[in-house]
Amino acid sequence: MPEVVPGPAELRGRLLAIRRSGRSIGLVPTMGALHAGHRALLEAARRQNDTVVASIFVNPLQFNRKEDLETYPRTMSEDLKVCDDCGVDLVFAPTEADLYPVEQLTFVESAALSQHLCGQFRPGHFRGVATVVLKLFNIVQPDRAYFGQKDAQQLAIIRRMVQDLNVPVTIVPIPTVREPDGLAISSRNQLLTLDQRAVAPVLSRALRKAIDVIQNGEQRVAVIREQALAVITPCAQTRVEYFEVVDPELLTPVEQVDGPVLVAAAMWLGPVRLIDNISWPD
């Protein structure tokens, strides 16, 4: 089993000798409830670094609904087995008091990149994400950090934060891991009923439809959206929160596809919110 380190000071001490010896450090930040998507991150980190650190921390700053924070799955014993299988060396598992010992008065925010897609429906979420990720970068000081492309807005914000604030870490994006029926793997999937789980892949099918329409030469986003949403409309259980075609770096909506785009969507199935995206060209 990997060594579990609870406190920031203790982790810094454990990593100091590793860093001084010239060995590389890879960080995989997680909130636990590890699944196949996390395995892909951990395995990539293992291949590319001498030492792998996985953090497991359910970050209260990024939840804008108290009930979501309280019900978020916490599966530490199972998570440690996944980390062991993937060759993780150290698991950083701080408490809330470890990372927020006093009231947090300083935050990291990218207002421009947070105003569209998920950001318009989850106020404060990405401020919480960026703040805790920068904390982790400062504590671990990794050479590389690994993030999944399924959370495309999060990835874009972290990349820009690293660039804008001169953080000396390489961000490594890892492709979305999917179930055989196309559903993007997520911790939230376990909350779906059997009926909802059968419907859920319609989101990835709608995204794929949008890409097919683009590849067939359609450039008008209004037409692309209309044809993609027609895939979801027959499913009465669903509620589309957004379905957008945006600039892949700035995340601003476009009206015409005349270069690379990100097609991103969020959909509700009962109380479960699913997100997914596909880049074009991929």
H helix count then E strand count, the chain? 11, 9
User: What's the confidence (pLDDT) of residue 65?
Assistant: 81
Q: Which CATH number fits domain 3-174: 3.40.50.620, 3.60.21.10, 3.90.660.10, 3.40.718.10?
A: 3.40.50.620
> Where are the domain boundaries for CATH 3.40.50.620 in the chain?
3-174
> Cα angle at 63 between 169 and 199, to 5 degrees?
100
| Rounded distance between C-alpha atoms, residue 41 and residue 205, angstroms | 24
User: What's the confidence (pLDDT) of residue 144?
Assistant: 98
Q: Which CATH number fits domain 187-276: 3.30.1300.10, 3.40.50.970, 3.30.565.10, 1.50.10.10?
A: 3.30.1300.10
Burial class of residue 66 (count of CB atoms within 10 Å of its CB; 0-12, 13-18, 19+) = exposed
Q: Give the strands of the sheet with 144-148, arranged side by side.
A: 3-5, 90-92, 51-56, 25-30, 144-148, 170-174
User: What's the confidence (pLDDT) of residue 160?
Assistant: 98
pLDDT tens-digit readout, 97-119: 999 999 999 999 999 999 999 99
User: What's the confidence (pLDDT) of residue 69?
Assistant: 87
- CB distance 246 to 264 below 8 Å: yes
Q: Name the active-site residue from 35, 38, 116, 125.
A: 38
| Rounded distance between C-alpha atoms, residue 246 and residue 119, angstroms | 14
Nearest to 49 by CA among 126, 141, 133: 141
| Rounded distance between C-alpha atoms, residue 227 and residue 231, angstroms | 7
Catalytic, 38? Answer yes
> Where are the domain boundaries for CATH 3.30.1300.10 in the chain?
187-276
User: What's the confidence (pLDDT) of residue 64?
Assistant: 82
Measured over all CA atoms, what is the biggest interatomic distance in the chain, rounded to whole angstroms? 59
pTM attached to this predicted model: 0.96
Beta strand ranges found along 34-107 (DSSP E): 51-56, 90-92
User: What's the confidence (pLDDT) of residue 225?
Assistant: 98
Beta strand ranges found along 116-195 (DSSP E): 144-148, 170-174
Digitized pLDDT (tens) for each residue of the chain, 282 residues in all: 999 999 999 999 999 999 999 999 999 999 999 999 999 999 999 999 999 999 999 999 999 888 888 888 899 999 999 999 999 999 999 999 999 999 999 999 999 999 999 999 999 999 999 999 999 999 999 999 999 999 999 999 999 999 999 999 999 999 999 999 999 999 889 889 999 999 999 999 999 999 999 999 999 999 999 999 999 999 999 999 999 999 999 999 999 999 999 999 999 999 999 999 999 998
Residues in a beta bridge with 278: 263
